[in-house]
Chain A
Amino acid sequence: MEKFLNMTVLIFQGAGVTLEIFFITLILALPIGALAALGRLSKIKPLSLLMEFYVWIMRGTPLMLQLLFVYFALPVVGLRLPDIAAALLAFTLNYAAYFAEIFRAGLQAIPRGQFEASKVLGLSHWHTMKRIVFPQVLRIVLPPISNETINLVKDTSLIYILAMNDLLRVARTIVQREFDMTPFLIAAIFYLAMTAVLTWAFKKLEAHYGKYDA
């Protein structure tokens, strides 16, 4: 029993790293993704092309490769980041690209009539975006954002390859040392709990922002 408790404590420390990567990535990638979506839809052609290129690269190559690139290739050209920063850079750039595509689709789903009605009423462009467009976009993007967020929980385990002591690595270390599979079970329960909480939270949000549906 004591052994089990010790294991759990160690694994929770690993979970701390996992949670840190998860939350910081989410907090950075959402606004960056939103800005990238606006850039992608911008009338400034070079900006729009640049954003399209960025999204193409990020979605067209494996996240694992991007992690390895930031971690091993950047130091070669003299850019050495602390472990956690390197991981966060790769995760944020990758997830921001996925979020950008989601936001772009959400923005493009807003009928032109909404913009025209706003203009005819004299609402400013900024006010229209904030009060008319954004709440409707939010309603559209919540389900796909929810999906990506749950993917992110599981993708955090990729930092395993960077020799950082995240949840999964701690679990494996104990398994190897003790010849006991329990840590894997604890890790699984942790991931499940996290995705369950997120699923619940997004359901609440979707219900809140979807209350105007027929």
Chain B
Amino acid sequence: MANTMLELTGIHKSFGENQVLRGIDLIVDKGEVVAILGPSGSGKSTMLRCINHLETIDKGDIKIKNQTLAENGIYVDEKKQREVLSATGMVFQQFNLFPHMTVIENLIEAPIYVKKISRDEAIKTAESLLEKVGLSEVRDRYPARLSGGQQQRVAIARALAMMPDILLFDEPTSALDPELTGEVLKTMRELAAEHMTMIVVTHEMAFAREAASRVIFMAGGVIVEENNPKDFFNNPKEERTKLFLRNML
């Protein structure tokens, strides 16, 4: 299908004896915002990190924009991997900005060296992205001088600077003080409104309810239930989902 951005089929992943993913099937279409919920240790991060090969799968197929990254657990060669993965971007819980570079330097490093864009052009794009996330004024500061919320918005801008087609978020607000989560969620809502394809592992129920187009509930390394947010929250079908939601709300 032309609109398929991501296709996971039968993904298995173990850490030693610990079977963390036990057969994940997932198709994400262009423009979808998929929220992934689930108890701690259910494999949410691992699944997300398998998508961009931060973790190596044992079994299964991964296709990004209809290009194969891995088939039957065997990855395509390095060069091809880079090409396929260039469609993805990621935002981490701990931001992972480069501390020795200013905000603008963080944003232009990869576009210049990976995309081979001219420095002037990279700076122009970076400046407009900073404006978009409302951080033009911190352009020349080092990350340590920013609040957590500002750092995470810079991290989002840095990911966007590579013009990914699909953006992965692993608990982007979990490391933030409660009063700072709002500004990051606002930026993410704006991206969702622009139909950016996003997969968001989160504990923010309000974000899942209001900004997601689909909610997935994981437990024990499998997808237990998925639905549109309204039905997911109002009429959960599985016992495990009900229990989880009762504890969350």
Contact = CB atoms under 8 A, between A and B. Distances in A.
Nearest to B161: A121
B100 A136 contact: yes
Interface stretch (B27-35, B81-89, B223-231, B237-245): B81-89
Contacts of A111: 94, 96
A119 interface: yes
Interface stretch (A46-54, A84-92, A127-135): A127-135
Contacts of B82: 122
B99 interface: yes
Given A121-B110, A127-B113, A214-B144, A116 B92 contact: yes
A212 interface: yes
Contacts of B144: 212-214
A113 B158 contact: no
B114 interface: yes
Given A117-B98, A131-B109, A214-B144, A122 B86 contact: yes
A39 B141 CA distance: 36
A135 B102 CA distance: 13
B99 A117 contact: no
Interface in A198-214: 209, 211-214
A212 B88 CA distance: 29
B77 to A, nearest CB: 15
Contacts of A117: 90, 92, 96-98
Contacts, number: 61
Interface string A131-150: 11001100100000000000
Interface residues of B, number: 27
Contacts of B90: 116-117, 120
Contacts of A175: none
B162 interface: yes
B52 interface: yes
B242 to A, nearest CB: 35
Contacts of A136: 99-100
A114 interface: yes
A23 B41 CA distance: 54
B54 A120 contact: yes
Interface string B124-158: 00000000000000000011110000000000001
A38 to B, nearest CB: 20
A141 to B, nearest CB: 14
A121 B142 contact: no
A123 interface: yes
Contacts of B97: 117
Nearest to B155: A117
B98 A114 contact: yes
B113 A120 contact: no
A117 B100 CA distance: 14
A122 B114 contact: yes
Interface string B99-122: 111000000011001100000000
A131 B108 CA distance: 13
A116 to B, nearest CB: 6
A18 to B, nearest CB: 35
A131 B145 CA distance: 21
B142 A212 contact: yes
A79 to B, nearest CB: 44
Contacts of B159: 120-121
A139 B99 CA distance: 11
B100 A212 contact: yes
A119 B92 CA distance: 13
The 3 A-B pairs of least Cβ separation, nearest first, read A214-B144, A117-B96, A121-B110
Interface of B: 52, 54, 82, 85-86, 88-90, 92, 94, 96-101, 109-110, 113-114, 142-145, 158-159, 162
8 contacts: A114-B96, A120-B89, A121-B109, A123-B113, A123-B114, A135-B100, A136-B99, A212-B100
Given A121-B158, A209-B100, 12 more contacts: A116-B92, A117-B96, A120-B54, A121-B89, A122-B82, A122-B110, A123-B113, A127-B113, A135-B100, A212-B100, A212-B101, A214-B142
